[in-house]
């Protein structure tokens, strides 16, 4: 009994230690890095005004658990029409469901070139993110991968809570 | 006098096992031998001395001494029988190692006694860490947004295009569904297209309609994202004028690019 008991105790301690090592590893391991680049054509059906067409480039970079999202607006001539730069951290990655949970903590806005019309989407995004940041000091954002093809370097993602679907290039 | 886990009471002539509480009144030979060994502890007691009578002048045979040593060792138990050492050709020696043996024994007893406590502490620590890991892994659950609807549009050429609508809620989606139907109608006017999937979503405040076209062109992936803002009421994100601008039927990126060029002019 004594020897069997000791073996049992040793096994339990070993299992506990292994569990501890696994837990510490998972708690300290860094989130995987990723980079998405999404290009969108913008249209604005402003009542009583001619449509102002712009492009939007969204770059989303996650490295070592930190996230940076840049929304860069351009008119069709390539002039900058404004930039929204957000930084935050990656809270959690659900690899099974392919969902990235990001907390945006800072936001900076840069106006575009002079005499360039500010796109309606820029105003909209600035307003919405501003409200969320002002309320809690943190803008929670989730990115769900709807479709992904590593071979062709693309992913269709859904941003929440804005419910924005977007096709993006996978960089690196 | 402590001998392993036994205490020797020389006056009473008893050897008491402190673990089991067993008291052994030592027979004459054992008592005589043990008293001599204790008296000369750490030194070899020659056999003739052990065989000689101590006070009463009696004499023990060599076999009686050997038997006494044997029974004493038996009573001390396997852990401490080596306290009485046989020195070949000379006699017997009661070693001074009692304290060390005792300390080791006590340490072992302490270890055995504290083992369950140690196990409980380790288990609790493991459970705590596992809980942390579990909480970190699950956290507040993020449920994935499922498509509101998936429809297949079949063009005249027989080509099929999937129309996928996304909404975080199942209520008040009339506008999104209506825009999806408008886009479907306009796609039906196309003979063929490079797109094989169209994703549609409406921002939660219904101000921006997002359309993503996805297709393949000679094995290469093609993606086109469109975001339409409309502050008017009623909303008319997709309308005939806009459809003329964007040329969603374009069957190749070259044509898409050229349509953009003409549109820019």
Rounded distance, CA B75 to CA B5, Å? 10
Tens-digit pLDDT profile for residues A55-81: 899 999 988 888 999 999 988 888 888
Greatest CA separation found in chain A?
90
8 A C-beta contact, residue B244 and residue A45: no
What confidence score (pLDDT) does residue B257 get? 39
**Integer CA distances (angstroms), B1 to A137, B16, B103, in order:** 76, 10, 16
Give contacts of A 55-114 with B, CB under 8 A: 56, 76, 91-92, 94, 97, 99, 101
**Integer CA distances (angstroms), B123 to A4, A16, B116, in order:** 19, 7, 10
Tens-digit pLDDT profile for residues B251-265: 444 444 334 443 343
What is the 3 state secondary structure string of A59-87?
Answer: EEEEECCEEEEEEEEEECCCCEEEEEEEE
- More confident: A4 or B181: B181
The two structure tokens encoding residue A34: 């990723």
What confidence score (pLDDT) does residue A29 get? 66
Contacts of B172 in chain A (CB under 8 A): none
What confidence score (pLDDT) does residue B263 get? 39
Give rounded-to-5 percent helix, strand, coil for chain B. 40, 25, 35
Work out the mean pLDDT of chain B and round it to a whole number.
80
The two structure tokens encoding residue B53: 């009578």
8 A C-beta contact, residue B198 and residue B163: yes
Tens-digit pLDDT profile for residues A5-54: 778 878 888 887 887 787 777 666 666 788 899 999 888 887 555 456 78
B126/A9 touch (CB, cutoff 8 Å), yes or no: no
8 A C-beta contact, residue A119 and residue A108: no
B78-92, B112-126, B186-200, B212-226: lowest mean pLDDT where?
B112-126
What confidence score (pLDDT) does residue B136 get? 65
Rounded distance, CA B210 to CA A166, Å? 7
Q: Does A152 touch chain B (CB under 8 A)?
A: yes
A78-87, A162-171, B244-253: lowest mean pLDDT where?
B244-253
Closest CA to B150 of A140, A147, A67: A147
Residue A36, helix vs strand vs coil: strand
What confidence score (pLDDT) does residue B262 get? 39
The two structure tokens encoding residue B236: 């008319």
What confidence score (pLDDT) does residue B229 get? 86
Instruction: Say how far residue B162 (Cα) sits from the centre of its chain.
Output: 44
The two structure tokens encoding residue B188: 């039906």
Tens-digit pLDDT profile for residues B115-142: 778 778 887 887 887 777 777 666 556 7
What confidence score (pLDDT) does residue B140 get? 59
**Integer CA distances (angstroms), B5 to B97, B108, B124, B163, in order:** 12, 13, 35, 86
8 A C-beta contact, residue B105 and residue B79: yes
8 A C-beta contact, residue B65 and residue B31: no
Kindly report the backbone phi and psi dihedral angles of residue B169, in degrees, each rounded to the nearest multiple of 5, phi listed first.
-130, 160
CATH class of A34-171: mainly beta
Rounded distance, CA A118 to CA B50, Å? 113
At residue B199 the predicted structure's pLDDT band, cuts being 50, 70 and 90, is very high
Rounded distance, CA B92 to CA B94, Å? 7
Give contacts of B 44-73 with A, CB under 8 A: none
B212/A156 touch (CB, cutoff 8 Å), yes or no: yes
What confidence score (pLDDT) does residue B256 get? 42
Rounded distance, CA B204 to CA B181, Å? 19
8 A C-beta contact, residue B125 and residue A20: yes
- More confident: A45 or B163: B163
The two structure tokens encoding residue B73: 């060792």
Tens-digit pLDDT profile for residues A109-162: 888 777 777 788 888 888 888 877 766 677 788 999 999 888 888 899 999 888
Q: Does A42 touch chain B (CB under 8 A)?
A: yes
What's the pTM value of the predicted model, to 2 decimals? 0.62
Average pLDDT for B207-211:
91
Q: Nearest CA of chain B to the CA of A61: how many Å? A: 19
Tens-digit pLDDT profile for residues B20-68: 888 888 888 888 888 888 888 888 888 888 888 656 667 788 888 888 8
DSSP of B210-240: EEEEEEEETTEEEEEEEEEE--SSS--SS-H
Rounded distance, CA A170 to CA A168, Å? 6
What confidence score (pLDDT) does residue A141 get? 87
- More confident: B242 or B114: B242
């Amino acid at each position: 009994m004594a020897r069997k008991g000791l073996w049992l105790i040793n096994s339990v301690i070993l299992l506990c230690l292994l569990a501890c090592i696994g837990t510490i590893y998972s708690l300290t391991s860094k989130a995987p890095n990723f980079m998405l680049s999404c290009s969108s054509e913008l249209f604005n059906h402003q009542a009583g005004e001619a449509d102002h067409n712009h492009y939007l480039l969204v770059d989303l970079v996650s490295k070592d658990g930190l996230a940076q999202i840049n929304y860069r607006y351009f008119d069709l001539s390539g002039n900058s029409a404004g930039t929204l730069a957000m930084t935050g951290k990656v809270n959690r990655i659900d690899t099974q469901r392919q969902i990235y949970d990001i907390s945006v903590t800072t936001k900076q806005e840069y106006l575009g070139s002079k005499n360039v019309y500010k796109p309606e989407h820029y105003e909209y995004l600035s307003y919405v993110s501003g409200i969320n940041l002002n309320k809690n000091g943190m803008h929670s954002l989730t990115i769900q991968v709807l479709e992904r093809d590593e071979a062709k370097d693309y992913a269709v993602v859904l941003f929440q809570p804005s419910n924005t679907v977007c096709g993006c290039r996978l960089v690196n | 006098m402590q001998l392993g886990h036994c205490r020797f009471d020389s006056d009473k002539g008893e050897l008491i096992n402190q673990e089991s509480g067993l008291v052994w009144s030592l027979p004459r030979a054992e008592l005589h031998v043990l008293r001599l060994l204790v008296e000369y502890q750490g030194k070899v007691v020659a056999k003739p001395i052990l065989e000689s009578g101590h006070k009463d002048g009696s004499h023990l045979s060599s076999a009686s001494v050997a038997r006494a040593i044997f029974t004493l060792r038996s009573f001390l138990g396997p852990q401490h029988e080596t306290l009485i050492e046989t020195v070949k050709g000379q006699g017997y020696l009661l070693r001074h190692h009692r304290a060390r043996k005792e300390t080791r024994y006590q340490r072992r007893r302490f270890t055995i006694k504290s083992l369950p406590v140690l196990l409980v502490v380790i288990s609790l620590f493991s459970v705590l860490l596992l809980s942390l890991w579990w909480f970190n892994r699950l956290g507040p659950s993020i449920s994935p947004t499922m498509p509101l609807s998936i429809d297949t549009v079949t063009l005249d050429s027989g080509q099929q295009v999937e129309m996928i609508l996304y909404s975080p809620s199942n209520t008040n989606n009339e506008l999104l569904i209506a825009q999806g139907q408008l886009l479907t109608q306009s796609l039906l006017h196309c003979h063929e297209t490079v797109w094989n999937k169209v994703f549609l979503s409406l921002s939660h405040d219904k101000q921006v309609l997002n359309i993503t076209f996805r297709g393949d062109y000679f094995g290469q992936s093609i993606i086109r994202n469109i975001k339409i803002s409309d502050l008017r009421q009623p909303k008319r994100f997709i309308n005939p004028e806009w459809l003329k601008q964007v040329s969603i039927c374009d069957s190749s990126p070259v044509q898409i690019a050229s349509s953009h060029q003409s549109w820019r002019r």
